[in-house]
A = this chain, B = another copy of it.
Amino acid sequence: MKNSIFAEGAAYVRGRFVPIADATLPVTDWGFTRSDVVYDVVHVFRGGFFRLADHLDRFERSMAKRRIRPPEDRAAIEAILHRCVALTGLVDAYVAMVASRGRPRVAGSRRPADCENHLIAYALPWIDVVPKDVQARGAHVFIASTPRVPDASVDPTVKNYQWNDLTSGLLEAHDADFDTAVLCDAQGFLTEGPGFNVFLVKDGRVTTPDRGSLEGITRRSVLELCTELGIEAAVEPIPRSALDHADEVFLATTAGGVMPASRIGTRILGNDRPGPISMRLKDTYWRKHEEGWHRTPVRALEAEAGE
């Protein structure tokens, strides 16, 4: 499949499978002009989806909360994701499912309920949110001054594209020559960063914020690993000052897994290298992938054709 028209990525838009280069949406789609859209991203590792059912569960919850209902049901969406990956021939991939408000069926309507909701999906070659070399030395994480949008205004558990505050934090980080950023809320509690959850380790105990954050699937995986490894872990309020005392910091996301940090703000952590508990969680996360943890094999095109 490597030389096929789908080698750079395969997409499903307007009910058809197309090469990623042809996957577009109208500039007047409310998914763009109002960012009225929800999405989810699942990864494929060596030919198998990781926690596909959990991602589909969250995508369905996001759609329900925003009242976006594309015509495809869950079984259809799942089949579309399989087919996108199979078309590319990729064994490691990043697979997005997107539900957009679309455009009004009634010309000139400004009512969300009048819109024709639609599904977009695509599979792309694997992309790490933090480059591999940065992961190896540990990410340098800036503490942004931009406050995270409050949960009451935009529900962070509904995975959305409204990244303005996160992008502002990222620009601050790059200006200061850091790799990425974490944001605090206006009350001074730690939240998340652009595309990842954040974890602290202090005296062998692992914590992650209970607010301003996506309920990450990788976050859930980390919490499960902590239980399995006998590491105490909690989801709780984390004041910004806790960053001044953390022994280790790591980031967690679908597009990268467990990614240790070596610097947070002006602090250098440990030996300016990834810490031992972060590395143990990272290694276990990938070792269990190899063992088939939460794995759903990608169905071959032939199998799909028979459905």
Point out residues on A near B: beta carbons under 8 Å.
11, 13, 20-21, 23-28, 31-37, 39, 66-67, 98, 108, 110-113, 120, 122, 124, 127-131, 146-150, 152-154, 160-167, 170-171, 174, 180, 186, 194-195
Contact = CB atoms under 8 A, between A and B. Distances in A.
B149 A147 contact: no
A27 B98 contact: yes
Contacts of A31: 32
Contact of A25 (B24, B122, B164, B194): B24
Contacts of A27: 11, 13, 23-25, 98, 120, 122
A62 to B, nearest CB: 12
28 contacts: A13-B27, A23-B27, A23-B28, A25-B27, A27-B98, A27-B122, A32-B32, A32-B161, A33-B161, A35-B163, A35-B164, A36-B163, A36-B164, A66-B167, A108-B127, A110-B130, A110-B170, A110-B180, A110-B195, A111-B170, A111-B174, A113-B174, A147-B152, A147-B153, A152-B186, A154-B164, A160-B164, A162-B162
B152 A34 contact: no
Contacts of A39: 33
Contact of A153 (B131, B161, B165, B195): B165
Contact of A112 (B13, B20, B170): B170
Nearest to A108: B127
Contacts of A37: 32
Q: Nearest 3 A-B pairs (CB), nearest first?
A: A24-B24, A34-B163, A35-B35
Nearest to A126: B108
Contacts of A128: 108
B167 A34 contact: yes
Contact of A110 (B11, B129, B150): B129
Nearest to A98: B27
A196 to B, nearest CB: 11
